[in-house]
Amino acid sequence: MHLFRAALHSGSSASLASTLALGICGYCESGSAAGPINGPSQWLWGEAEAYTKQTTWRHTASGYAIHHAMSVLWATLYERMQRQTEAPSPMRTCANAAVTTTLAYVVDYGIAPRRLRPGFKKHLGSQSIFAVYAAFGVGLVLSSLLRPQDKS
């Protein structure tokens, strides 16, 4: 499987898993499943807009689209690491997902300018943020373990 197609597959899986975690955690913490998903919309509409809790095309659709695109981007790194090993073991697959997820968090909240951060922390506490990034990693692993092995 070509790198981009593999990254699209694993990134989409990671995006869906982490978006589900965002919605569940957001609902549990503030009664708004959409709030944390709206967070990345600050890239387009400004930081104040990331606090929106309602489901809207402007915030929720753009927030999800940005999150999904960044998930595929991070999955490209993950898939490159997966290709470094002839036949990655489940343990290596988990390690690669953990490294990718940790690096994504460090860049998202330690390096990126405020406006280009995911905006999840405007709605979620640290335990929920951990759950969201863990779900992202699980999505990467599941996509690899469930994907048919490439014969080419």
As given in the structure block, the two tokens for residue 45 are: 């509409």
Q: Tens of pLDDT along 127-141? A: 999 999 999 999 999
Indicate the pTM of the whole model. 0.93
Tens digit of each residue's pLDDT (9 = 90 or more) over 31-66: 999 999 999 999 999 999 889 999 999 999 999 999
Task: Take residue 123 and report the two structure tokens written for it.
Answer: 């709605």
For the chain, domain boundaries = 3-33+66-146
Half-sphere exposure of 126 (CA within 13 A, CB side): 0
Q: DSSP labels for 94-144?
A: HHHHHHHHHHHHHIIIIIS-GGGS--GGGT--HHHHHHHHHHHHHHHHHHH
The pLDDT-based confidence of 151 (bands split at 50, 70, 90) is: very low
Q: At what angle do helices 62-83 and 3-30 cross, to 10 degrees?
A: 130
The per-residue pLDDT for range 100-118, each reduced to its tens digit, is: 999 999 999 999 999 999 9
